[in-house]
Amino acid sequence: MRPKDTISISNTTVFMPSEFTLIGIPGLESVQCWIGIPFCAMYLIAMIGNSLLLIIITTERSLHQPMYIFLGMLGVTDIALSTSIVPKMLGIFWFHVPEIHFDCCLLQMWLIHTLQCTESGILLAMALDRYVAICYPLRHAAVFSHHLVIQIAAVVTLRAAILVAPCLVLIKLRLQFYHTTVISHSYCEHMAVVKLAAENIRVNKIYGLFVAFTVTGLDIVLITLSYIQIFIIVFHLPQKEARLKAFNTCVAHICVFLQFYSFGFFSFFAHRFDSHIPPYIHILFSSTYLLVPPFLNPLVYGAKTKQIRVHMVKIFCSKNLL
């Protein structure tokens, strides 16, 4: 257990804090109770939508294919990601419970960043699956076997968990003195915690950048290259119907890819390089960035993927008949 908070030589420095205080959205404290309403609505829709996706994918044997298995993994990740953030966030907004234990803060940080990296890896796996399915359709079943899908799932999860873990170790072992225990954020984000330290944080910042560019940077490059190759093949197909059919299988993936990384890049660079952005705008974007993908993904795939849409309609029609 951590010792109780004690003050070091400097009266403004806290040694080994036992807990942090999350203030939510700085500058908008008076309206946070109203901001919590759309966040709660997005969370509920995300939970219901992703749960329906998982039920459909697990119960329909025709959907036990790599693309839908990856989509199910994405749903599980989205449920876990939103659940690791929203309950505590609503506790701050609605019930004025801003305190969070130091170790719980580190756990939340690890979960958030691990799940973000996992989601990025799943999007890469889905892009590679579409690449093989469109560019090498006759070899797709042989290449993306169930054994390979399981291996990809394990690698994507372990890569994220192992790469993010040292961020926590570096905070726990290197940073003992803090200027304040008040985190100007609605959840425990890596840089938001590191910036509180009264010690040299260069190593922490460098490793955070290393993880971001190793995971997200590499994934973006590979995903982009995959879709470039897909578009080249699609545009060379002789029949217009074949081109439209091939392109439609990628529309949902492209939409999810764009919204996930566009929000992510703004949040990442704003937190590190742009001090001119008002804190409340940055925190709103950061929180929205983590909630929008779980909220939108089931809606996008439900609308753009015919097989999912058909089974979704069947579920609602059968309930109406009852």
Rounded CA separation 303/92 (Å):
34
Rounded CA separation 230/205 (Å):
36
pLDDT in tens, the chain (322 residues): 344 443 344 457 888 889 999 999 888 888 999 999 999 999 999 999 999 999 999 988 888 899 999 999 999 999 999 999 999 999 999 999 999 999 999 999 999 999 999 999 999 999 999 999 888 888 999 999 999 999 999 999 999 999 999 999 999 999 999 999 999 889 999 988 999 999 899 999 999 989 988 998 899 999 999 989 988 888 887 777 777 777 777 777 887 888 788 766 666 666 555 556 777 887 888 888 888 889 888 888 877 777 787 877 777 776 555 5
pLDDT reported for residue 46: 93
Beta bridge partners of 183: 22
Query: What is the layout of strands, in order, in the sheet containing 6-7?
Result: 6-7, 14-15, 177-178
Task: Check: CB of residue 300 under 8 Å from CB of residue 71.
Answer: no
The position carrying tokens 């960035």 is 289
The position carrying tokens 């890469």 is 124
pLDDT reported for residue 269: 64
Rounded CA separation 278/270 (Å):
10
pLDDT reported for residue 41: 95
Which whole-number Å values give the CA distances from 73 to 93, 149, 320, in the listed order?
A: 30, 11, 29
Domain ranges of the chain: 18-316
- What's the one-letter identity of residue 101? H
In this structure, what token pair is assigned to residue 315? 């579920």
pLDDT reported for residue 259: 77
Cα dihedral sign, 278-279-280-284? positive
Q: Hey, which bits of 23-151 come out as E strands?
A: 99-101
Task: Check: CB of residue 102 under 8 Å from CB of residue 17.
Answer: yes
Q: Hey, which bits of the chain come out as E strands?
A: 6-7, 14-15, 19-22, 99-101, 177-178, 182-183
In this structure, what token pair is assigned to residue 169? 């170790």
Rounded CA separation 260/116 (Å):
10
Task: Check: CB of residue 267 under 8 Å from CB of residue 286.
Answer: yes
Q: What is the pTM of this model?
A: 0.89
pLDDT reported for residue 213: 87
pLDDT reported for residue 2: 44
Cβ-proximal residues to 139 (8 Å cutoff; 6+ apart), any chain: 132
Which whole-number Å values give the CA distances from 299 to 42, 44, 45, 62, 252, in the listed order?
A: 12, 13, 9, 21, 10
| 18-316 placed in CATH 3.40.1390.10 | no
pLDDT reported for residue 104: 96
Task: Check: CB of residue 163 under 8 Å from CB of residue 83.
Answer: no
Beta bridge partners of 19: 101
Task: Check: CB of residue 176 under 8 Å from CB of residue 18.
Answer: no
